[in-house]
Amino acid sequence: MQFVSHPWISENVIEHRDYQEKIARTALTGNTLCVLPTGLGKTNIAALVAAGRLQQSSGRVLFLAPTRPLVSQHKKSFEKCFKAGLKMRVVTGEDNPENRFYLYKDADVIFSTPQCVQNDLKSRSISLDDFVLCIFDEAHRAVGNYAYPFVAKKYTEQARSPLILALTASPGGHQQKINEVKAKLFIKNVEIRTRDDTDVKPYVQELKRIQLAVSLPTELQSVRNYLEKVRAERVRKLLDWKIIMHLRPSKSDLLKLQAELANKKTGFGYAAMSVIAEVIKLDHALMLLETQCLYSLNKYFEKISGEKTKASLRLSASADFKDAVRLTGELLNEGKEHPKISALREFVAEELKDRDARIIIFAQLRDTIEKIKESLSAVKNAAPVEFIGQAKKKGKGMSQKEQLHTLNEFAMGFHNILLATQIGEEGLDIAETSAVVFYEPVPSAIRRIQRTGRTARTKPGKVVMLITKDTRDEAFYWSGQQKERKMHGILHGMQRAHSAPQKKGTLREFVK
């Protein structure tokens, strides 16, 4: 194995990879968006760019990441990559605001969250005039009111010699979203690599993609029929009132309509808002039935029965809705469940015949995670553990300390199945896995790429999609796939259009 040789980089730490060094060279010529699948070394590229920049110019480096655990993780990586002499500090909102002024002054490389830096820029606790590089990790977040665009703007205004490196596994599946990220971070160059690129292929393992398709059983179809009947009545009313124009408005469309009606403050508007609320609840119930599990659906029915809103009270009084609730309870009492649960159990049992197997199962909802854990606990050799967000819902939630503790136990083998909500998709250093399971397909290119990147790094891996036939699962599967392909096409086009000239010389001079 060959390693990068550089005055600032520790010996025998960063493996020589052509694609990483080519991207780093480009990034030193101008503000660059680096799009690279999880596990292919975005942090190593950041270290190479930082080393090159510190060699070129006298100044400091700012490394931003969305969460404190991720900030600390990047600091540890940089400490391993760089030779002694650079003073590195983590500065976050946990530090006293009055002390942060001195912490910023006392470091060559600062690792922080964007919200913290944004606040300190506003209070003038920090000036970015002497920073020669600003790194934005998970750069796809640089949209809307997130802190990244504010920091990027201030950095380009204040720094004497600014340079931006933006890192992400996926900036989004639409041209508009990608252009927004580029504009907000003042990007000039785009560098993208996928697992299929010739200079990346030597460093990735075989990835097997598996679809496990199940059909909705007759009993569950009966529950669906009851819910669809109630929904059709509400939708017909909204159509007659000319509030909506078609039978299947999206949730975002319905929420937008509610906001517009609320602004009008009319009796008719409030009545329509309440009916819209019923449709939203019914759509959510149908989503749970089709793509999640009966356990989650029953929990949702319990929630509705405990609510005192007009929408919930009307639903609870509906005969067909009552039948849906009754039948769901009966099926659960009989031990029936969504067929995804048994399909998942069979896959896990087969996978765990290899005692070294590590599996991540992604699911959208905590109630579904709870049911999956209960189901898999009965599988031979299975040791599942939940990995959920910090928000306390129904008394449950994991602090960042608890999250890191769980990841460490997963890495050490105390658990071999990580049951993760969306919190497991982004950034955190999760141990190598033999399989990633999507309990439900996601229509987002970003989330699809982030999940897939959790396997097939140093050994062959599998990506498994559980799909319920003739449901929104199929639509989401094809939507996510199409967005991912479209994103790659857009980014490769941008890369070709704005290719930065490489400096003369060979990459060999950086390798020993």
Write down the pLDDT at residue 503.
Answer: 52
**Rounded-to-integer distance, Cα 284 and Cα 230, Å:** 13
Instruction: Evaluate the CA torsion angle 184, 186, 190, 195 in order and state its sign.
Output: negative
CATH of domain 207-215+338-470: 3.40.50.300
Write down the pLDDT at residue 504.
Answer: 44
Q: Do residues 376 and 384 lie in contact, with contact meaning Cβ atoms separated by under 8 Å?
A: yes
Write down the pLDDT at residue 340.
Answer: 98
pLDDT in tens, 112-167: 999 999 999 999 999 999 999 999 999 999 999 999 999 999 999 999 999 999 99
**Rounded-to-integer distance, Cα 104 and Cα 62, Å:** 10
Q: How far is CA 242 from CA 247, 248, 272, 279, 390, in A?
A: 12, 14, 10, 15, 42
Residue 361, beta-bridge partner list: 419, 437
Q: Which long-range contacts (CB under 8 A, 24 or more apart) does 225-229 make?
A: 226/320, 226/321, 226/323, 226/324, 226/327, 227/282, 227/285, 227/286, 227/289, 227/320, 227/321, 227/324, 228/286, 229/320
The separation between CA 268 and the C-alpha centre of its own chain, rounded to angstroms, equals: 40
Write down the pLDDT at residue 231.
Answer: 97
Residue with tokens 């928000």: 391
> What are the structure tokens assigned to 319, written together?
């005969």
* DSSP state, residue 393: B
Segment-wise mean pLDDT, segments of 10 residues, the chain, 512 residues: 93 95 96 92 96 94 94 95 95 90 93 97 95 97 96 98 96 90 97 92 92 98 98 96 92 93 93 96 98 98 96 97 98 98 98 95 96 97 94 78 90 95 79 93 90 87 97 95 91 81 44 43
DSSP run (H or E) holding 89: strand 88-91
pTM over 0.75? The answer is: yes
The CA R_g of the chain, rounded to the nearest whole Å, is 25
Helix, strand, or coil (residue 438):
strand
Write down the pLDDT at residue 512.
Answer: 41
Write down the pLDDT at residue 507.
Answer: 36
Q: At what angle do helices 218-240 and 319-333 cross, to 10 degrees?
A: 160
Residues of the chain with CATH 1.20.1320.20: 218-333
DSSP 451-489: HHTTBSSSS-EEEEEEEETTSHHHHHHHHHHHHHHHHHH
Question: Does the domain at residues 218-333 carry the CATH identifier 3.30.930.10?
Answer: no
DSSP 95-160: S-HHHHHHHHHT-SEEEE-HHHHHHHHHTTS---TTEEEEEESSGGG-STT-HHHHHHHHHHHH-S
> What are the structure tokens assigned to 172, written together?
């989004």
Question: Does the domain at residues 18-202+491-510 carry the CATH identifier 3.40.50.300?
Answer: yes
Write down the pLDDT at residue 404.
Answer: 85
DSSP 241-302: TTS-SSS---HHHHHHHHHHHHHHT-HHHHHHHHHHHHHHHHHHHHHHHHHS-HHHHHHHHH
**Rounded-to-integer distance, Cα 460 and Cα 479, Å:** 26
**Rounded-to-integer distance, Cα 346 and Cα 295, Å:** 19
pLDDT in tens, 308-361: 999 999 999 999 999 999 999 999 999 999 999 999 999 999 999 999 999 999
Write down the pLDDT at residue 400.
Answer: 81
> What are the structure tokens assigned to 366, written together?
């905590």
Name every residue whose Cβ is closer than 8 Å to that of residue 403 and which is 6 or more positions away in sequence: 69, 387, 390, 423, 428
Residue 418, beta-bridge partner list: 360, 385
169 φ, ψ (degrees, to nearest 5): -80, -25
Q: How far is CA 483 from CA 137, 165, 476, 486, 489, in A?
A: 22, 24, 10, 5, 10
Residue 39, beta-bridge partner list: none
